[in-house]
Structure formats: structure tokens, C-alpha cells
Structure 1
Amino acid sequence: MSRHHLSPLAAAIAFSLCAHAVHAEQANTAKTKEKDAAIELQQLDINAQGVRGQATTEGTKSYTTGVVNSSTKLPMSLRETPQSVSVITRQRMEDQGMGNLNDVVKNTTGLSVQKYGPERQRYVARGFTVDNIMYDGLPMSVSTYSQDVITAADTAMFDRIEIVRGATGLMQGAGNPSAAINMVRKRPTITPQLSVGASAGSWDRYRTELDASGALNETGTIRGRIVTAYEDNGTYLDQGGSEHGVLYAISELDLTESTMLTLGSSYQNDNKDSDWGGLPTARDGSDLDLPRSTYLGNDWAYWNTSTTHLFGELDHRFDNDWKLHLAGDKMWGRINMLGSYLGYDNNGLQQSSGKYTYVNDYDSYDGYVSGPFALLGRTHELVVGASNRKEIFDGHGGWLNTPTGPNIDPKNWDSGMVPEPSFDMRRWGMKFEAEQKGVYATTRLNIADPLKVILGGRLDWYDHDGGTPQSSYKVTRNVTRYAGVIYDLNETYSVYASYTDIFKPQTNLDPSYSILEPMTGTNYEFGIKGEYLDGALNASAAFFQINQENRAKLLDKATYCPTPTYATNFNCYEAAGEVESKGIDLELTGALTENWQLSAGYTYVEAKYKKDSNKANEGKLFDPDQPRHLFKLSTTYHLPGDLNKWRVGGSLNSQNAIYNEGGAGAAAWRIEQDAYTLVDLMLGYKVAENVDTRVNFNNVFDKKYYSGIGSTANVLYGEPRNAMFSVKWTL
């Protein structure tokens, strides 16, 4: 396996940065410190962190935040936002040992992870796949192929992750009406800070982290931060292992008292001895009761990815309290993989293999102005902006049947018995470019002291060039709408109602050889929110209904689309399919007491076909391997009195039974996963003022369960019981 050791270089740079910052701080006079405080207030204002509280969660030791803006770009508290929003804070990520985005999604109210390969997953919410991932508010769509390239981001570089559930078209334009995940990066600090962490755990898993931040000049007008993390992991499987490294650097420069420039970059590299596919069931889908350590791939398999970001922001505050924000993020994604997958044929269980290389580049740009305006004797808020994002994908590779003999015995397999094959990398190829341009506006109208109305709209132009007429299409002037009403019942509770929508282009053809109109997803939601202890504790209860319409519905198979250019006929479709999702969201996050942090959430969702080309599907579950009931709880308690150096905590994730099925007649199969609950525990001890230790026990009761039920030849078991010990030194 190719190894790329990033941490020594990053450590040297980070220690140098910290030393510079410490020296600068020691040289500051009292006058400079006063200037630093003013700069901090300025930075707080530029980043729209609000009046009642700040958005940054680092250092707050809290499980909630004061301000979010992922739904409308208006800085609002959770109570003021007329949608279901969850925030995974820096403290919670550390308490639960969330190392990457997969861990975050697993522990987020209303979201789940579906594995359909050792290194392949999709996130789902409210019945639909989540295909909008954002970095600091800049969206990057996740397509069928790009999800293989864009590896799960390491959490070391994020302050918090905000998740807005439902349709989020106002901010993203195209996508599913499921959720948007906004990963908010850490920012430089004026006060010097340095932390070094190390972890060791089951199966020879090791991780180191380093985070250094501070002012780079005596006045504090230039600030920088570097974060690096490195992992060398074994595995509970009979074969495999992985190496992972991330390096993140960011700087801020105050060009004037009112203008700040931010520049940054990140690089994440993952080298994994992982296979393409998972494990088999019996032909009918019943469990083969294989050991969780079973590996039916080959010792030459690998799955290597890298993701590079270069980003920048310009913030300017005008004298009339209006602000300008310009942002851009350019991403380069790469994957090189070689692996095998299983399948049943007439002879039994067979193995095939493939080798692929993908290039996935993404540009995302956004700019807006925001500020107050007066109307009818009241002050209101307005945001007006424009965005552009472009994706370029170029993939090629080849596949073949690996000569492993007529049958594979899952209980008697040697991963070294098959020599590494050679492939014709020209056998398969795909290229496409997709670009979306949009303009948008949002306003929050202060109708009365207890009543606020939020209205928004967006206009999008979408162009997808796949190289052929049947894979190229355009969407012109698509209109997206947003409306929300929030009424304060008293100082603690508010009720709200909202309407949001989103569109998703599709490639199917109708009988006139035209691309179908985009799918439209509408989200209706109403609920109640509560804010306690001056925002330290937030609660919400929501009812929602989502309808995704214009889904491609297959016409009679005897009818074919005309093909004036190509000899091959294509099936005809009409935009008549529909899926409806209904449910409830309950969530409580924040401080119950000064020493007790809690996050608890319950979601019920039922997504069913209302219209489909297969009449038998109508009324059935849309995606039965998505859980309908999800309950997630995490908590940390600092012991009182003489035991205050100790803290205890844990988490609980529970879901109902799920299934997946396919085939017909004698070839029919059904894979079932019973309801299960996973329990994790945490014990922490503060050895000294600047030294903290923690041990996380995961899957304490060693529950055996499927983490993915893709097909009879591709199921995956979740991790067995394991532990991770961590120590962190902070300057």
C-alpha cells in the first residue's frame, strides 16, 4: 500500500507557526491587547455570528450553537429558523470520537448511513439520498460517481457541522429534498493556541492530531492556523488496513478596519487496502452467519482517494451595517481503485474484478450582500446574491471475470490465491460537465414584535454536457421558492410553518426525444421550538411532508423513443412518478445543567410510492432499507465536587427493522435486518490543567448487525466491540 506521511511536515510548520504566535503575544503591550479585543469583535461581526450568541462552537464545551445560516444565509438562532436544523459541535465531535463525516452522519438526528461497499456509502434523510454537501456554505453536489471520489472529510478541520433537513433549494438549487450538510471550517484565532493529540485503539489503530493558531504580526491583523491529522489503522477483517492523512491551513488578513480576506487550502489522502464489494448472503437473502472478520476479496485490492481544496473569502462591512461576502472553493478529487465483487450465477458464487481511475474537479462560487432596511416603521433584513458551480468528471477503467474457479466457498477462502489481473483501461469511460448558475434573494420581514416572515426565491440555469444527446440537457430559469413564518408565543417558545422546494434534473427521454422536466421536491413543515437558559438548550418538534414529483415513469416497453441519430432504441418515459414522505422530528440539544450536555433526537419517516410505472409499487415503501424509526442520544456529565476532573458519557443509536428485496419467482430474494440498538460509552479524566484523557468504548454489547444490505452478494457487517484511548495536550 502506498504511504504518504503528511504529519512530520505539518507538525514542523505548525510548531513554527505557534512559536511565532507565542512570541508575538509576549511582545504585545496593553494597548495592543485592547486592539486585539477590538479586532476580535470586528471578526465576530464580519462572520455574521449574531448578537444573542456566536456561531463558533470551539471552546464553548457546548452541544449547541447560538447562530446558524445554512438555510437562508440570514444569521438566525435555531429557534428563529423555520426548518429542522441540527448542529454537531466541536465538543460533541471530540466527546464521541467522530473522526470523519460518516461518524457525524451516524450520530445526527434524522440521518443514516447506508453502506453498499466497504468504501462506498450514501447518506439518507426523510426518505431520500442526501446529495448536497457544503463547505462553509458553498455547495458541492454528490453524484453517483463523485461519491466514490469525495472521501468522507476528516473532522479535525471543522468547527461544527450544520445539517438542514428537508428541501434546501434556496441555497443549493439542484438536489434531492432530503437535507444539506454544511461543514464549517475552523478559523484562525488572535490568541495563540496549540493542541497535540494522540489516540490508540483496537486492531492497531493509531491517530495523531496537531492544531496551531495565532496572530502572525504584533497587531493581530494577520492570523493563521494549521491543522494536521494522521492515522494508521488496522482492521477487524482478516485482510486489510488503511492510512489516512489531512493537512489544513488557513489565514486571515484585515485589509482595512472593515475588510477581511481569507485564504486557505486542505489536502486529504486516504490509502486503503479495501475491496470493491462486501459479503454474500444465501441466494434467497438469508444470513450465512459468517464471522464479521470474513474477507472474500484479494490481497491486491486497494481504494485510494485524495481531495484537495483551495478556497478564499472576502468580507466587507459598509458604514450602513450592510455587508458584502464573496467566496470561492476549488476542489480536485482523485480515485484509483482495484477490487473485486461477488455475484451469483448458475454455478454458484462467482467473483469479478475491475480497475478504475476517476478525476472529479469542482468549482463553487458565491457572492451576496446583506443588511437591514426600513419599511413601514420597522427594520427588516435582506440578502441578495448569485452563485455558480461547475463539476467536471472524467473516469475510465476496465473489468473482467477473475479466474477463481467455478465456486467460492465463503467459509474457506484464501485472499492470496488469485494473481492480480491486468485490465484494458479503455473498456469503459465516462465524461461529463455540469454547470449551474443562479441568483437568489431572501428577506426577513419584521411584521410585528412576535411575528417574523421569511420569503425567498431563486432562479437557476443548469447545463449538463455528457457528450451525447441522450446524456446532455439544460434547465432554463428554474424557479425555487421559500416561505417561512415564525411566531413567538413568549420568551421561550415559538411556532413556525415553512414551505421549501428544490429541483433535480434527470436524463430520461420522452416519446418526442426530449429530456424530461426536472423532478421537483416540495417540503411542508410546521412545528414548535423552545430556547432555554439563554440559548444554552434548544428543543424542537416538527411535522413534515415531502412530495417528489415528475419522477421518470416508464411507458409501455413496446414503445420506443425515436432515434434519429443512433441505431439503439431507448425506453420512453413520462414525468409522472411521485414519492411522498411524511414524518416527525424531535430534538433536544445543549446544556441541562452547567455540567451536563445532552443531544437527543427521534425521527419517524415513511416514504411511499404514490405513482410509479410498476403499479404494484404504489403504496409500498420507497426505499425499505431506510429506517423509519431513528432514536439517537448522546450525553456527557462532569462530576461535581472533588470528582470534577472526571466526566462520563455515552451514546445510543437505535433503529427499527429494515429489509431489501429483489428478483422474482425462484430468483426472488429478501435480506432482513432486525431492529437493533448500539451503545457506546465514554470516560474522561483531566490529568492536569492542559492535559486531558479520554477512552471511548464502542458497540459495548458487541451487537452483530448489517451496516449495509445492498444485494445478496453485497452485505456488510458493522464494527464489533472496540475501544479507543485518546490524550490531548493544550497550550
Structure 2
Amino acid sequence: MSFELFRIREGARAGVRPAYSVLAMMIAGAIYAPQAAAAEAGKEQTMTVSATGEGEASDAASHDYNRPLTRSGTKMQLAPRDVPQSVSTITEQRMKDQNLQSVKDVLTNTTGVSAYNIDSNRTTFFARGFMINKYLYDEIPTTVSSVWNFGDALTDTAIYDHIDITRGATALLTGTGNPSAAVNMVRKHADSKTFTGNLSASYGSWDKQRYVMDLTAPLTDSGNVRGRMVAGYQDNDSWLDRYHFRKKFIYGVVDADLTDSTTLSVGYEYQQGHTGSPTWGGLPTWYSNGNTTHYDRSFSVAPDWAYSENDAKKAFATLTQRFDNGWEVKLNGTHAETTLDSKMTYPSGFPDEVTGQGVSYFSGWNRGKRKVDAGDLYASGPFELFGRQHQLIGGLSYSREDNKFWNSFYPGVVYGDFNHFDGSLPDEGWSAWRESQHDTIRQKTGYLATRLSLADPLNLILGATYTDWEAVGTSANSSADNLAPYAGLVYDINETYSAYVSYTSIFQPQTNRDSNGHYLDPMQGKSYEAGVKGDWNSSRLSASLSLFRTDMDNYAISTGSYIPGTTSFAYDAVDGTKTKGVEFEVNGALTDNWQMTFGASRFLAVDNAHNEIGTYLPRTTMKLFTSYRPPVLRDLTLGGGVNWQNGIWRNVSGPNKSTLHATQGSYALVNLFARYQLTKQLAVQGNVNNLFDKTYYDYVQSYAVYGAPRNFSLSLDYNF
């Protein structure tokens, strides 16, 4: 069954291949030389989408790096060039080629996103100068805190069909959130009525072993009920001494066509990760005399008894009802429970360059549990007004997040010769357990948006989101509500290019407190974006160029001092912070044999006195990855890429109460891959990361964290 989604002029999304143009300056125009014109312009045609929805792609594009439709940005199903915001998509094929096995891997290789590796296991991500704190699972938003490590960044990507990243403020998607990005992880579904499967095994550097099974099968003779299961196991050491990581995961989903127009999906996922000797913090950046340290990359600050374990369970259900007039009603619900158990130690101080004296260890044993219940109900579809076709979406969502944490400590230990630390440290004298945090965060959201066809080439998107937010508990007792408007205008310049402008309001409640212990008011602001987009080859290749600006009030900046009588840092609320920048991306199929993603971003951020803020983030990044299958050797695929970023710095407290300049210069990391199809079903693939073994810091302030040295993996992949 199919239904009419929206009407477009013939040729507008039908793979017209024009000559060179300004927007396609990064290859697209050079690939598509003038060819046959599209069929009669102006003649209407109807775009249809399979009743199974967004998860289904055409066979011809099943191995692309791009997708022709997305719900990101507005929750309406649109072609990417019809969305008046910057959207990046990481498909399953891209994840396979580049060996992106975790959410951390994906975001590290996404246009405009910077990874901030605080230690061996904790990573926070930033876009446009702000931390990404909104993660969606099949369109249901979840807030991720960087304070406690629940292992979110290490979530395995084997269960996802693709991941969408919408940069900028995303009020229509999430209600609240920083003007950074929203990450929507779209799970795999049982979309085959015949038995299919994939088995893979890989081995790599530091004795890394990984095994994944992905099976789909009909559960009834007619295939109207189908099931899919993905399971995997991974075990590896690291370039860090004593570090060992192990995870196992399983995911199952049942998709049922209850009627020709009603579908139900029910699923469950479980992941357990265990790390032996994870680091908490990193290596001192300076010796006590102010000289820069030069430890080996393998040097670990973790004792041999340290560990961290995370268990994540999620159950979800989606009911979709479609109507003959093109309308659709969808109900999403999820329940998630995640637990944390970590016993680690943190080194503090600046060692003597000769004796290694001067470092103390602070040890903490933390346990936590996070529960999330969330639901989302919306209706969307076309309507006719003044003789033109338009779209409308409206919905309600609710989420409740409960966080509980307990901890135990033992007094700081002054270590002898830190420069030769071998993991030996006392594991005794722990204090009694105490509850350190118990919070409940509730959010109720209502949203409404419409896409109005003002003229054949001009569409206006208007929307608003009302949010009622409340946090109650030991670390927060505050509430706020807000109405956030959204507006976007998209103009089709011709059959290939469109220009757009958009405006979004920003609303982000916060639990940071000032030096008097009072909670800061919610961050509020405005986000503006303008750009040009293009697509070719039935949207198999897309490109975008965007300019953005964000104005923020109540932006929290750490004072570097504790709130009196607590162990929490105090923050100042700063009004008038401004961020502006530019982003460019081209993504998808240059030809049937050539896939490529190239993204570049540049931003500047200042406070109300025009001082730079967030200098610990790279201002400029460029990321390239490509794969090519030679026509004369169709069983061979070759590819690779490079990630480059400019330098970062921050003035921090050094030895003897000095202020020192922590810095990491610009650097590039080069990656290669090759795959050979041994038979129709069996393929072998090799990947090399950091080909030239560049030594660099992922994080550098008063302590530093090294990035990964050169590493490789070799895998076998069997499809049936």
C-alpha cells in the first residue's frame, strides 16, 4: 500500500543533473556534467512512500551514504533540501565502511561535531560551541548528562539503521535543549518477509575481538508479522596499560501489519559494558617546575582494581495508523533503565620532574540508576487550502526521568613516584555508602507545525512548542515553562537548488547554581540560520551551505570555585553571548560506484565583553570520507578519509598557583579501508585508523588525555 505524501513539480526531486554551480563547488558540479534535461518542467507528479514508512529505501540506493527523506528538523517527512536547517545523516553503509561501531565513533566523524574525551570512557560532544544534550531514540528525546558516566557514548551502532544529526536549536524535535544539535538514532526493523541474515567477525589492534549476528525472519506464513534480532559481543585491551573493555548486547523487534493501514512495532534492547582499569581524569599537563610533561601514550593513571560497569535496558512500542487521505497517527512509548557501578580514582597535583613526588589520589565508588519513561503522540498529513497542498503536524509528548546516585570515598592517598606508577594503590578504608543525588525531571510538551505551499517554488514552515518543565530533588528544585516559536522559509531556485532561512527560539532549563547556592534561570536565546541546499540523482547526493548565529542569555560559565559547603562548582550566568559560523557538507552518491561525505565547519563564540569563550573546542573542522568501487574490479572497494581540526587552548591553574596556557595544535588523522567480495555472500574488509600514528591530545587542560595511536581491524562479513 502507498499513500500520497506531497506533490512536487516533475524534476524537482527527480535526479536532474546540471552543470557546475556555486553550491556544488566541492565536487558535485564537477561530477554531474550537463546531461539530458528532466521531463517537462511544471508537470505535476505524485511522490509516494511505502506504507512501511521511513525505514524503507529503494534497492538502488541501499548502499548510499545519503537518504532521500528525513523527519529530522520538523518531524514532517521531507526531502533534506526542504528542511530549513542543517541535517547530516550517517547511514548503515557509512558505519560499515568506516567501522563506526559506537555512537561516539559516529559523532566524532559527523560534520560540525567535536568530541571532548574527558577520560578513557567519558565523552561529551559539542556543535556550534554548545554541548549536545539531546539524544532521540526513534524520535523520543532523552537528556544525557556529562556528570555521570552511564556509557551512552559507547552504545553500539549495530542496532541502528541510520543516525540523523540536526544542528542548531531543535525546539520542534525536543522542546528544550542547547542550540547545538539533536541526535536521532533510528533503530533497525524487520522489513523483510523472507529469512535474511548477516554474520560478522573481526580482529584488530590490542587484541580486539568483535562478533555480531543480525537475523530477520517472517513469523507468519503471510509475512505480516516479522521479527529481527541483533546480538553482539566485543572484547579488547587498549593502548592504555591495564585497560580492558568488554561489552555484549542484544536487540529484538517484532513488526506486525495488523491491517493494511495499521502497524505495530514492539522491541527490547539490552547492553552491558564492563571496563577494567578505566581512567578518571588523565595525565598531569605540567611538572611542578612548570615544564610540560611527556608521558608515553600507554601510561595509565588507573589502579589495577578500578572498574566501571553499565547496564542499559530499553523497551519500546510504536503504533502507526495510516488513512487513505494521507494522514498518519503515530504513538511512541519507551521505558529505559540504566545502571552504573564505577570504582575509580582521580590523580591530582603536579609531580616533580625527577622524583615524581607531589600527586595525590582521590578515590570514589559511585553507583547510580536512571529510569526514563516517555511517550509521544502525533498526527500528520496533507491538507488543501486555496487550491494548494500543504502539510500539518501536531502532537503531545511526556517524559519522566528519575536519577539516583550513591557514593563512597576513601581519604586521599599521596603517591610516591607518580612518574613510574604501576597501578598499585590501596583499596581499603572506604566510607559508608550515602545517597548523593535523587532527582526527578518531568517534561510535558505540545507542538504544532505546518508547511504551507505559498507558491510552486516557495514553502513556509511555521510552528511552536510549549514546554512545561520541572526538576525536583536533592540537586534541583525548579520549574519553568516556555513557548518556543519556529519559522522557516524555503525557496526552490530551480530544479536542483533551494535557499532557506529559519528562526528558532531557545529554552534550556539548568541545574547549575551560583556562589550563593541559588539555581540559575533557564538559558534562553534565539537562533538564526540561512543557507543554500542542492540535491542530485533522486536525492542520492545532497549538498548544503549554511550560515548561523545564536544569541544567548543566562549562559552558564564556571567560576572555578566551589559553592561554600559543597563539592559543586559555582557558575555565573552571563547575558549577551553570541555564536556565529558557517557549515558546508556534501554527502552521498557521486556516481553509482563512488560515495563521499565531506563536511567543513567554522564558528566563533564571544561573551558580552567580546572575549572568546569555549576556546577548548576547535573553531574549524574538516572531515572527509569516501569509498570507490573500480568498474574493472567490481568486487573491490577502496576508501579512506581525513579528519582535520585547528588548535585548541585554555588558560588553567598550574603549579604554585600560576596560570598556564594549555594547548593542542592543529592536526589531521588519516584513515584507510578496503573491502573485497570473495563470493556473492562473503566479504573481507580491512580498516586502518590514524595511518601516520599522529600523537595528539583529545583533551588538554590541567590534565591531558591522549588520542588513540594507529590501529587496525580485519573483518569477515557473511550475508545470507
TM-score range, shorter chain: 0.7 to 0.9
Counterpart residue number, 1:723? 712
| 1:366 equivalent in alignment to 2:376 | yes
Structure 1 residue aligned with 2:477: 472
Q: Residue type matched to 1:269 in 2?
A: Q
Partners of 2:113 and 2:591 lie apart in 1 by: 27
Cα offset for 1:401?
Answer: 3.2
- Cα distance, 1:150 vs structure 2: 3.2
Residue 527 of structure 2 corresponds to which residue in structure 1? 523
> Which residue does the alignment assign to 1:25?
none
Residue aligning to 1:76: 78
Does residue 325 of the first structure (1) align with residue 330 of the second (2)?
yes
Match of 2:397? 387
Question: Following TM superposition, by how much is the alpha carbon of 1:277 offset from its aligned partner in structure 2, in angstroms?
Answer: 2.4
- Give the 3 Å change call, closer, same or farther, for CA 517–55 of structure 1 in structure 2: farther
- Measure, in 2, the Cα distance between the counterparts of 1:277 and 1:573: 21
Deviations 1:25-50 (A, max 9, x none): xxxxxxxxxxxxxxxx999324256x
Q: Residues 150 and 103 from structure 1, CA distance in 2 versus in 1: closer, same or farther, beyond 3 angstroms? A: closer
Whole-angstrom distance in 1 between the partners of 2:515 and 2:718: 66
Residue identity matched to 1:45: A
Choose which of 295, 300, 307 in structure 2 pairs with 1:302: 307
1:128 to 122, 130, 141: 130
The verdict on how the C-alpha distance between 1:684 and 1:75 changes in structure 2, with shifts beyond 3 A counting, is same
> For residues 536 and 367 of structure 1, do their structure 2 counterparts lie closer, same or farther at Cα, with a shift above 3 Å needed?
same
Residues 549 and 580 in structure 2, CA contact (< 8 A), matched pair in contact too? yes
| TM-aligned CA deviation for residue 467 of structure 1 | 3.8
Distance 1:76 1:602, change over 3 A: same
Kindly tell me: are residues 209 and 386 of structure 1, through their superposed partners in 2, closer, same or farther at Cα, counting changes over 3 Å?
same
Is the CA contact 2:451–2:462 (under 8 Å) kept in the aligned structure 1?
yes
**Post-superposition offset of 1:118:** 1.1
Contact 2:372 2:402 (8 Å CA) reproduced: yes
1:45 equivalent among 22, 45, 51:
51
Is the alpha carbon distance of 1:690 and 1:351 closer, same or farther for their aligned partners in structure 2, counting shifts above 3 Å? same
Deviation at 1:322, TM superposition (A): 1.0
Contact 2:121 2:151 in 1 (8 A): no
1:668 and 2:674 are equivalent in the alignment? no
| Cα offset, 1:403, TM superposition | 3.2
Q: For 1:648 and 1:518, how far apart are their aligned partners in 2?
A: 49
CA distance in 1, matches of 2:450, 2:543: 25
String of CA shifts for 1:266-289, please: whole Å, max 9, x gaps: 001100111322212115875411
Q: Does 1:259 align with 2:268?
A: no
CA distance 1:106–1:333, change in 2 (3 Å): same
| Structure 1 residue matching 2:82: 3-state secondary structure | coil
Greater percentage in helix: 1
Question: How far 1:178 sits from its partner (Å)?
Answer: 0.3
Percent identical among aligned pairs is 35
Instruction: Give CA-to-partner distance per residue, 1:67-123, whole Å, 9 cap, x none.
Output: 111211100111111100000011000001001001001110000110111111100
- Shift of the 389–526 alpha-carbon distance from structure 1 to 2, 3 Å rule, reads same
Equivalent residue number for residue 94 of structure 1: 96
Query: Which SS does the other structure have where 1:91 is aligned?
Result: helix
Give the secondary-structure state (helix, strand or coil) at the position aligned to 1:79: helix
- CA contact 1:68–1:75 (8 Å) conserved in 2: yes
What does residue range 274-423 of structure 1 map to in structure 2 within 5 Å? 274-283=278-287, 287-344=292-349, 348-405=358-415, 407-410=416-419, 412-415=420-423, 417-423=424-430
Give the secondary-structure state (helix, strand or coil) at the position aligned to 2:378: strand
Question: Closer, same or farther in 2 for the Cα pair 1:553/1:678, shift >3 Å?
Answer: closer
Tell me the SS of whatever aligns to 1:71.
Answer: coil
**How far is 1:349 from its partner?**
1.7
Alpha-carbon spacing, 1:326–1:42, altered in 2? closer, same or farther (3 Å): farther
1:508 CA drift (Å): 5.9
2:599 counterpart (575, 594, 601):
601
**Counterpart of 2:206 in 1: which secondary structure?**
coil
Deviations 1:116-150 (A, max 9, x none): 11111100000000000110111001124355453
Classify 1:521/1:44 alpha carbon distance in 2 versus 1 (closer, same or farther; 3 Å): farther
The aligned counterpart of 1:446 is: 453
- Amino acid in the other structure paired with 2:711: N
1:514 Cα deviation from its structure 2 partner: 7.6
Question: Is 1:631 aligned to 2:622, yes or no?
Answer: yes
Alignment of 1:22-171 (within 5 A): 44-48=50-54, 60-171=62-173
Distance verdict in 2 for CA 1:697–1:507, change over 3 Å: closer
In the alignment, the residues of structure 2 paired with residue 459 and residue 228 of structure 1 have an alpha-carbon distance, to the nearest angstrom, of: 39
Q: Distance in 1 between matches of 2:718 and 2:52?
A: 31
User: Secondary structure at 1:534's aligned position in 2?
Assistant: coil
Instruction: Give, in angstroms, the shift of residue 513 of structure 1.
Output: 9.7
Shift of residue 419 of structure 1? 3.1
Q: Give the secondary-structure state (helix, strand or coil) at the position aligned to 2:555.
A: strand
Match of 1:177 among 179, 186, 192: 179
Following TM superposition, by how much is the alpha carbon of 1:673 offset from its aligned partner in structure 2, in angstroms? 0.5
Alpha-carbon separation, structure 1, partners of 2:438 and 2:517: 22
SS at match of 2:491: strand
Change (3 A) 1:233 1:435: same
Which consecutive unaligned segments of at least 5 residues does structure 1 have? 1-40, 561-565, 611-617
Q: CA deviation at 1:408?
A: 3.7
Distance 2:711 2:558 in 1: 47
AA paired with 1:656?
Answer: N
8 Å Cα contact 1:552/1:577 also seen in 2 = no
CA-to-aligned-CA distance 1:168-227 (integer Å, 9 cap, x gap): 112111211100000000110223211100000111000001000021111111011000
| Distance in structure 1 (CA, Å) of the matches to 2:629 and 2:77 | 31
Aligned to 1:532: 536
Residue 541 in structure 1 maps to residue 545 in structure 2: yes
Q: C-alpha separation between the residues in 2 aligned to 1:238 and 1:506?
A: 38
* Alignment size in residue pairs: 662
**How has the CA–CA distance of structure 1 residues 154 and 43 changed in structure 2, closer, same or farther, with 3 Å as cutoff?**
farther
Q: Deviations over 1:682-704 (max 9, x none)?
A: 01110000001100011000000
Whether the 8 Å CA contact 2:333–2:375 is kept in 1: the answer is yes
In the alignment, is residue 700 of structure 1 matched against residue 691 of structure 2?
A: yes
In structure 2, distance between residues paired with 1:517 and 1:418? 43
- 1:247-271, CA deviations, whole angstroms, 9 ceiling, x for partnerless residues? 0000111111111111001001100
Q: Does the 8 Å CA contact 1:177/1:501 hold for their aligned counterparts?
A: no
Identify if the C-alpha distance between structure 1 residues 425 and 150 changes in structure 2 by more than 3 Å, giving closer, same or farther.
farther
Q: How large is the Cα RMSD of the aligned pairs?
A: 2.6
